[in-house]
């Protein structure tokens, strides 16, 4: 048995988590990096900072 107050709090927490999940999914969907042309990387040059 859960009181009405506890049930309402749990429902709001659930809705909040759903919203946070939706935002995280959107962030992941927008984080994809797509090359403007097809091909492959033949060499990469990296400069290490000391």
Instruction: Check pLDDT > 80 for residue 29.
Output: yes
pLDDT, averaged across the chain? 88
**Contact criterion met (CB below 8 Å) for 44 and 36:** no
User: What secondary structure does DSSP assign to 20-46, as a single string?
Assistant: HHHHHHHHHHHT----SS---------
pLDDT in tens, 39-50: 887 888 888 887
Sign of CA dihedral 9, 12, 14, 16: negative
Establish if 6 belongs to a structural domain: yes
User: How many domains does the chain divide into?
Assistant: 1
Establish if 8 belongs to a structural domain: yes
Establish if 22 belongs to a structural domain: yes
Instruction: Check pLDDT > 90 for residue 21.
Output: yes
Domain that holds residue 29: 1-34
Establish if 1 belongs to a structural domain: yes
Global confidence as pTM: 0.54
Establish if 39 belongs to a structural domain: no
Mean pLDDT of the region 23-38: 85
**Residue pointed to by tokens 């990296």:** 46
**Beta-carbon contacts of residue 47 (< 8 Å; ≥ 6 apart):** none
Establish if 9 belongs to a structural domain: yes
Establish if 50 belongs to a structural domain: no
């Amino acid at each position: 048995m859960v009181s009405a107050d506890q049930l309402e709090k749990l429902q709001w927490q659930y809705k909040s988590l759903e919203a946070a999940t939706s935002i995280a999914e959107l962030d992941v969907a927008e984080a994809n990096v797509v090359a403007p042309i097809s091909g492959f990387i033949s060499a990469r040059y990296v400069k290490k900072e000391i």
